[in-house]
Amino acid sequence: MGLFGKLKPHNPYPSPPEKSHPVFDTALQESLSRPPLRIINSWPSISRDDNCTSPISTTSSNHSHQSIPQRSISAAPSARFVVYPDGSHTHSIKCMGPSRFTTSLHNLTHLLPSKSLKLPSFREKKNAEELKKERTVVNAHLQRPIMDDCCVATKWGTCHQVIGKGTFGIVRVVYKGDHPSSPNDQYAVKEFRRKGSESIDHYIKRLTTEYSLCSHLHHPNVVETFDLLPLNNTCPVFCQVMEYCNGGDLFGLIYDNSQDGLEPAEANCFFKQIMHGVAYLHSMGIAHRDIKPENLLLTAHGIIKISDFGSAASFQVDVDRNKPVLARGLYGSEPYIAPEMFTDPVYDPRAADVWSCGIVYMAMRTGAHPWQVAQPNSDDNYARYLQFRHLVEQERDKAREERRMGQQKTEQERELAILKARESVRKHAKERGLDILEGFGFGAKRIIYRILDPNPQKRITVQLILENDWFKTICCCQPILSKQEEAMVQEG
C-alpha cells in the first residue's frame, strides 16, 4: 500500500438534509458492507504512461497520438485485459454468480449485503380491490392502459436467485423458462417496497418518477429499463425490470486492481464510454448527479452502463444552448461531488457531472480517490491540489506576459517558453508534492486538469471533451454512436 490510505464508498448527501432520502437512509450500512478502496495520503507517482508533462500551455497545438502501452499477451489468468500490437484490446471480465452480485449491484436497490444486517419485514396485507386501485393509479401516472392481470411473472418470466437485498426490497435474476437460452433472456428485477411511514401517494410518485425517466433512455452506455409491474397478482410491491449486467460494477474492478489502478488503455476506453453516456443523458435533459464507480455497471466484454437515477435532475433542453441550467440540493457521494455543490445555492448539474467523471478517471488510473471532499478547509489533499493549480496559473501568466512584452518573437521561442514553463511547474510541483496528475500522458493530463477546474464556469463541457483531440484518439473497443445515430436514438 505504500503511502496510500484506504479509499471506500462514501455516504451520499441528501437534499434537503432534514428530509429522508432513500439513498441516504441506507448509505452508512451500505458503506460498512462494501470493501474499501484507497484514499491518497500522498500524491501518486504513476509510471505506466509515457510523454509525462505538466498541463500548462499558452497556445493551442496539435499533439501526436499517445501510444497505448502494450502488455505481454499470454494465456495467464492475469490477462483479463489484453492490448494487441495494433493498439486494439479486449476485456474479459469474469461473469459473476449470485454471491458477487450482492456486492456489485448494490446501486440498484442500495443493497445491504452483510448477513448480519436485518432487513425490514413487509407484512402489509391488501385486498384485491385495494391492489387494483393502486395499479390503476400507477397506470394513470404512466399514461398507459390498465393491465389488471399483467405482472412480472406472466410477462417476463420466473424470478430465480436473489442477487441483492436492500431496505426497499430485493433484486432477482429473471428469465423465461427453466434456463436462459442466451444472456439476452436474462433480466434484473428490482423491487420498490414502501418505507414504514411512506404514504401510498409518495410511494407511487417515487416509483413512477424514476421509471418515467429511465424508460425513455436508450443508449449503449445507459442501463435499459423495460417495465414497471406488480411482482404478482396478490402482492402490493411493484418491480422495475432492467437490463442484466453480468460483469459487476466498476468499483469492484478498480478494487481488484487498486494497488496500481487499471491499465491506461483500459481506463481510457471506459472513460470514453462514460463520457458518451453522460453526453447522451445531457442531450435528453437529464443530469445524473451521482456518477461514481458503484453506479457504472459492466458487461463481461467491457461495456459500461450508467445506472441508478435516484438522484437525477431533469431540465428543459432549450433551443438556446446558452441558457443556464440550474439545480439545487446536495446529491452524490463525497469524493465525487463538485466543489460548487457544497457552496452554491444553485449550480449547473451538467458541470457537476463532468467533475464526477474526472474523479472516476482518477480512481481508475490510480486505484484511489485524490481527496475525500472537495473543500480546502476540510481536506488537505484538495487544498494541495488548489496550490498546484495556482502554481500552473502563475507560470501561464508569466508566459503570457513575456509574449505580450515581445520577448517571444518567433514560433521557436514561443515553443521553448512553453517547455520552460512546463518544466518549472513539474519541478516545483514535485518538490512540494502537489501534482496529482504526475505520470499521466500530456493528453490525459491536460483534459483532466480542465475537467477538475474548481470554477464550474471555466470547467470544460461534455461537448468539448468529445471534440478534444486526445479524446478522439482513445481506442475504444465498443462502437460509439455517430451524431446522426445519437439523433435517431433520441427521436426513437
Of 165, 66, 27, 160, the closest CA to residue 447 belongs to 66
d(Cα 342, Cα 375) in Å, to the nearest integer? Answer: 8
Residues 6+ apart with CB under 8 A from 330: 13, 14, 15, 17, 337, 341, 342
Task: Spot the catalytic one: 25, 149, 185, 290.
Answer: 290
C-alpha 229: how far from chain center? 27
Residue carrying the nine cell digits 390503476: 136
Dihedral of alpha carbons 250, 253, 255, 260, sign: negative
Residue carrying the nine cell digits 438556446: 320
Binding residues for ATP: 190
Of 475, 483, 471, 213, the closest CA to residue 358 belongs to 471
Q: Is 290 a catalytic residue?
A: yes
C-alpha cell at 405: 512584452
Binding residues: 190
d(Cα 31, Cα 41) in Å, to the nearest integer? Answer: 20
d(Cα 277, Cα 298) in Å, to the nearest integer? Answer: 13
Q: Judge whether 136 and 283 are in contact, CB under 8 Å.
A: no
C-alpha cell at 256: 481488484
C-alpha cell at 143: 399514461
Q: Are strands 368-369 and 38-39 parallel, antiparallel or unpaired?
A: parallel
State which H helix or E strand residue 306 sits in. Answer: strand 304-306
Instruction: Tell me which residues are annotated as active site.
Output: 290
